[in-house]
Structure 1
């Protein structure tokens, strides 16, 4: 796939070094309840813990095939010229930036944002970080007015309708059967039209409530609740959760246990999962030692679906940051395919969809390079000043894939955000 020339990075001016101060505070309650509407709100929440923020002390917009490297260099310069007073010293305290990146090298919308205020909670400890050009006092942390819930929502087909998308899947199966590649991940979208601009705090709260085991996120109008951790770097320990192979839940516990067992034995899903795990382990190898890959996946139970899952762990070798690891891992076979170059080229050729930041990395990075980055799945993008929302889902296609089954799987994956807009 031919990529356009890199787009010049655009950063907010930094006339003097940033000053960040972190202090411990009493538990402020639900983190998402602290967010105001229309304040550059950002979020990264898992089981009630995590980070939320607002305001914009500094930011970067960067696109092109070298977007991760340029973001890493920009963040390194920001932290080098900043002064941090951190009284908490846990992952997520001190100076942090939130980010999300386009899936494709020619995609648009990649950004890093340093909020003016960040509130965090982890393992029973809570803190607030204030960022600016001088030391300032932390704000009062009280719940804001309840969000306005969506109304007048109308869902319509996105770039490719259901019938045409099944034809795209069939074409991918034909290419795979012809030996051109082993696996490709194909995405589709739905469009929600709203009467009034969406208050993104409403779907965020519902996603965090209904899917507490996922990472609920929002950066620059891109939001969702992803079950897949692309990479976590914490004091030298690297973790990546790989999901590939999916089956829809029925709501009947006995039936779901039987379905979980069938998923764990499915040759099609095990093959798809093996490709994804192998791609992650190979990508981490140049940066890590003592890599541990379990012999078999486990079944991850979510409220709407079940996935085959594997947690790959390793020890960092050298001084790579979380963004360096993100660059090495993206796109994994779980969101691109195998071989990666052939799969990404096929996506560009037949998918008929501008993914934007769907299936791209989203998360945060700290001043020391640690951070957490998920894959932007179960996600949506605000458009037209919030009056239009694009919902995304994708499925891994291998030689045994059946187009109608893949359509059903994609519909199951659209449920979280679709219901959050109901």
Structure 2
């Protein structure tokens, strides 16, 4: 575990003492994402509400099987020494950290970042939080200079070509038919190249505008617009939105209404959805004094696809010992992104996918000092990677995954993955 403050050098959490001040705002211009400068932008926004931040007051990097526990311990130590004045008192005010976590124990790193400036909005109320090590002032807020659009955009293959990925799907179906497991989620990647490194604020603005019903996020180069809330904890109340079972939209309202009905009756999709809901309910139950698990899913309509969706709700009896990040750790990986049973599914993912997921399909979101927070699953997402050393061209890895169960058709799954890649493809396009 590596932790640091924004000042030169590396320090431990025990030596970092942060000062945070939250004040209400009136009349701040523009959407939240339009305020983001190029300096370490962070975002978690849905339908205009959420929080954005920039700068780095403190951060930690963790890895391995203990990545969640190490990050949570660092955060507990940091918050116990912080001095906080909060004049707003809403979830997301006071001391806040943004985070994203690796899908697998190895390889991959995870991070929590405490920004120097946070601007939030909720239910018509706006606030500003400034965070530092000594005396802190309030910066003048203004719209940031617009980001430049990527140029020379082109897409190349990722870990597996289309035919090879379809063969992997067929192999997975054969393993399921043989009784080795019930479901596995197989992902694929596509690489986008641009003339210059991508300013991540460009796709962020476009995703927030086009997918306002999703949670648009960015942490440490990982960005996207996820429709799936892994877990939200707000003053003891817990919510998890489960998505599994997908059909592509046509753009024709009458046709799409018929397709929604087909999705709601599809035995293959209902089976996949049941696995995902069951895995979330089983993981949350030990932490909750009461739970509500709906018997049937609803159809969630997004601009490009429709999903079967279920909102699982519960109550945490002890907020002091059960944080939102702790709940996210207990839920990850759910059947919606891994499979069932989990050990067999994750082993098959490592064998068949032909790529490293990194933080794709891992938890991404934020947490405040009380333990409240929102953690989505990093879906419909992409990772900005280092420029090509030979050409200097910018590079971004785009990801999409599909739930494979008995009866899954490789060609249909490839088409579904292509539909799931569209949001980030379009967001990068100038």
Q: Same fold judged by TM-score > 0.5?
A: yes
Matches of 2:26 and 2:139, distance apart in 1 = 13
After superposition, what is the alpha-carbon deviation per residue over 1:85-133, rounded to whole angstroms, capped at 9, x for unaligned?
A: 0000001000000000000011313100000000000000000000001
Aligned ranges 1:148-187 → 2 under 5 Å: 148-187=148-187
Matches of 1:197 and 1:27, distance apart in 2 = 34
> Is contact 1:58-1:115 (8 Å) kept?
yes
Matches of 1:421 and 1:101, distance apart in 2 = 23
Unpaired stretches in structure 1, ≥5 consecutive residues: 1-7
> Is contact 1:20-1:135 (8 Å) kept?
no
**SS of residue matched to 1:205:** helix
Aligned ranges 1:161-310 → 2 under 5 Å: 161-310=161-310
Alignment of 1:9 with 2:39, yes or no, is: no
**Which residue number corresponds to residue 47 of structure 1?**
47
Matches of 1:374 and 1:209, distance apart in 2 = 19
Matches of 2:217 and 2:245, distance apart in 1 = 23
> Is contact 2:190-2:399 (8 Å) kept?
yes
Aligned ranges 1:21-420 → 2 under 5 Å: 21-28=21-28, 29-37=30-38, 39-318=39-318, 319-385=321-387, 387-420=394-427
> Is contact 1:9-1:63 (8 Å) kept?
no
After superposition, what is the alpha-carbon deviation per residue over 1:236-265, rounded to whole angstroms, capped at 9, x for unaligned?
A: 000000000000000000000000000000
> Is contact 1:21-1:135 (8 Å) kept?
no
Cα offset, 1:16, TM superposition: 4.6
**SS of residue matched to 1:110:** strand
Cα offset, 1:353, TM superposition: 1.1
**Which residue number corresponds to residue 390 of structure 2?**
none
Matches of 2:107 and 2:423, distance apart in 1 = 25
Structure 1 residue ranges (4+ consecutive) displaced by more than 2 angstroms after TM superposition: 8-16
**SS of residue matched to 1:126:** strand
Unpaired stretches in structure 2, ≥5 consecutive residues: 6-10, 388-392
Report how many aligned residue pairs link the two structures.
Answer: 414
Matches of 1:118 and 1:316, distance apart in 2 = 27
Matches of 2:412 and 2:2, distance apart in 1 = 42
Matches of 1:87 and 1:246, distance apart in 2 = 43
**SS of residue matched to 2:33:** helix
Matches of 2:51 and 2:359, distance apart in 1 = 20
Higher mean alpha-carbon deviation, 16-25 vs 204-213, is at 16-25
> Is contact 1:357-1:376 (8 Å) kept?
yes
Cα offset, 1:289, TM superposition: 1.8
Matches of 1:27 and 1:203, distance apart in 2 = 26
> Is contact 2:231-2:328 (8 Å) kept?
yes
